[in-house]
Amino acid sequence: MKKKIFFCLIVLFVVCVNIVYADDAIEEELSDIEIGEVLETASSVDELKINSRIAVVYDRASKNIVWGKDENKRTAMASTTKIMTAIVVIENAALDDTVKISAKAACTGGSRLGLKKDDKISLRDLLYGLMLKSGNDAAVAIAEHVGGSVPAFANMMNEKAKALKLVDSHFTSPHGLDNPEHYTTAYELAKITDYALKNETFRKIVGTKNYTVTINGYPKNINNTNELLGVLDGVYGVKTGFTNNAGRCLVTAIKKEGMDLIVIVIKADTKKDRTRDSVDIINYIIKNYESVDIKDTVQNEFEKWCLMNKKRFTIEKARNKDFTIGRENLKNERIIIKKTDIDNINVEFNAIYYFSAPVEKDTILGEMKIFVKDNLIEIDKLFFNENIEKNNIYDYFFKCLKCFK
């Protein structure tokens, strides 16, 4: 009997402590001196070498990948998961709700806000505990309150992933502890982050360095685990992460030199590596890339093409063959490209040159492709600006009369 009781206690201990290498659970914080050393020794080179196995730089304006390393490879994501958790909460719940902490939430291991069973805390403060302190206990409490259970909340996360048209992301939990069915890619994580940052509440939370939550009416100060926030100029979020499978992760949002970027590193060996890699990538992009206005270049190429090709169009039975061609507005008037490629912006046109009247206004006649070297960055449709009417019997009659003159 004693052995059975002892065995049950062991099982209960494992469940409550949840001994999983979780986000920031066994890491030492980088000191201000260490961060200073990273910033001072960060490289600014033409060829980028990083420790992280997976990385991406995502341009928030154009929605394009600027630079990447295995950015489409599926990977564990650790507590960067909580970016999706937060946006699902913000969009589906009242943040002023009071949440009573369950035994399951209180027993969740890994990085913690420090919640105990029956504690009372607002949903808003749980969000701050989730994103600043990276509390897995806060994540479970949130999931239970908003979704009814962790699996039900994970379903909400997956529904949101579908709505965002993600094909390589799947969620099983709100915290991101390792699970083979819980994964994303650096590219899709950047898309999730970009979407989340459009939300003012989310942006405010992840941009907060220090915050005081209230638990059972008592204040508790917490600090953001993001080591670059408030240290590197231009950084305004967003989230750290660590598990055995994901390695050290860091998602950084930064505005600098006219660029609004999301920089992600995953599977770094150490916290110092993830910090150094992130700074090196940022420095590399700032040194070697530029935000370029392509509006005039594209318009000039379009006008040139129209002038050279308009006479190639044949519109049978058209009453009036005088027409103009329009094009879709650029999705992105500014793009981030390598400085050495600024003179390699090319525009390619493909069109159908034969039509039969009547032709309605806005009928698609082709497309315009914009390339930087061999990299396709945008496709826009070409169309007729006017209705082109078909000849009627009177038009043919008057044409015949002209023949007898």
- Kindly list the catalytic residues: 79, 82, 134
CA of 185: how far to CAs of 19, 97, 160, in Å? 25, 33, 16
The candidate with the shortest Cα–Cα distance to 77, out of 210, 206, 194, 168, is 168
- 3-class SS at 390? strand
Tell me the two tokens of residue 122.
């607002």
The candidate with the shortest Cα–Cα distance to 346, out of 314, 368, 317, 313, is 368
361 neighbors 329 (Cβ within 8 angstroms): no
Strands 98-100 and 345-351: unpaired
Half-sphere exposure of 102 (CA within 13 A, CB side): 13
22 neighbors 31 (Cβ within 8 angstroms): no
Identity of the residue numbered 83:
I
Tell me the two tokens of residue 249.
């992760």
Tell me the two tokens of residue 188.
């899709």
Half-sphere exposure of 351 (CA within 13 A, CB side): 24
CA of 4: how far to CAs of 1, 14, 20, 58, in Å? 5, 15, 25, 54
Query: Is the backbone of residue 307 left (phi > 0), alpha (psi -120 to 50) or beta?
Result: alpha
- The set of residues, in sequence order, having a beta carbon less than 8 Å from that of 34 and lying 6+ positions away, is 272
Tell me the two tokens of residue 357.
């009247």
Q: How big is the CA angle at 63 (ends 57 and 67), to the nearest 5 degrees?
A: 25
Tell me the two tokens of residue 1.
């009997």
Tell me the two tokens of residue 300.
């000039």
What is the spatial distance between Cα 264 and Cα 251, in angstroms, rounded to a whole number? 5
In the block, tokens 């990299």 appear at: 375
Q: How big is the CA angle at 179 (ends 59 and 90), to the nearest 5 degrees?
A: 50
- 3-class SS at 254? strand
